Amino acid sequence: MARIGSSVVASTATERDTINGRRGLGSFSHGWYIYICFYHAFYGEVYFALCNLKPCVMLTGIPHHLQPSFLQNVIRASNVLDLNMLSLVQAGPVSTLSFDFSGTFVLVTLGHPLASELVVALSTPASMQVSETTVARWLDYPVALDTCVDTSAMVEIGYFDITTDQLVTSYCATFHDPNHRRQILDHFQRYTQTLGSILQLRRDATSV
């Protein structure tokens, strides 16, 4: 597994103060920025992409004014692009009915069959609205959000790293839907079989 560099820090005190205030984290030692914003949030997703499980990883939640620093001090400093397995794309005006991906950094898995589709779609300069089903395909989620008809029965399915008990990915589903249950089981089995003992996972569900 390519370890994402854990020694990268916010490049200015202003950036540290901004994130501290936004997240209520208080004062952290050097290295916390990458630890919180990249390693904890994305290391599982990035590894899934490196294993060719995910077509891409969308690095959402990075404040716009911190993106240049994040690009230089986190993504590039991690050396993950040097593996020549992922390509970095910054999304154009792409959105769903509920989420705007414009400007989001996306790591596209070069060896995945959907790589070309993703690069073309994300790089378009024209506004494009896509369905939740399309986003689920891009992110390799077994259940698309727009198939969760009974929102009162919706749950968040989380995969956790058994070693650290860290959440590494999650998606929503309607657990009493037999099709969703089958899709969840098939997806989890595919991930655990591919990852083997390198990244052991457990699955949990929480009411939304």
* 35-78 per-position pLDDT tens digit: 344 555 688 999 999 999 999 999 988 888 888 988 988 888 88
pTM value is 0.80
Residue 72 lies in a domain: no
Give Cβ neighbours of residue 92 (< 8 Å, ≥ 6 apart).
102, 122, 123, 124, 125, 126, 128
**φ, ψ for residue 36, nearest 5 deg:** -80, -50
What is the residue type of 108? V
Mean pLDDT (whole number) for 181-208 = 95
The mean of the pLDDT values for the chain is 82
Domain total for the chain? Answer: 1
Domain range for residue 166?
Answer: 142-208
Residue 195 lies in a domain: yes
Q: Cα angle at 72 between 130 and 65, to 5 degrees? A: 60
Percent of the chain surpassing pLDDT 70: 80
Whether residue 105 has pLDDT greater than 70: yes
Whether residue 191 has pLDDT greater than 90: yes
pLDDT for 125-181, tens place per residue?
A: 999 999 999 999 999 999 999 999 888 889 999 999 999 999 999 999 998 899 999
Residue 93 lies in a domain: no
Residue 121 lies in a domain: no
Residue 155 lies in a domain: yes
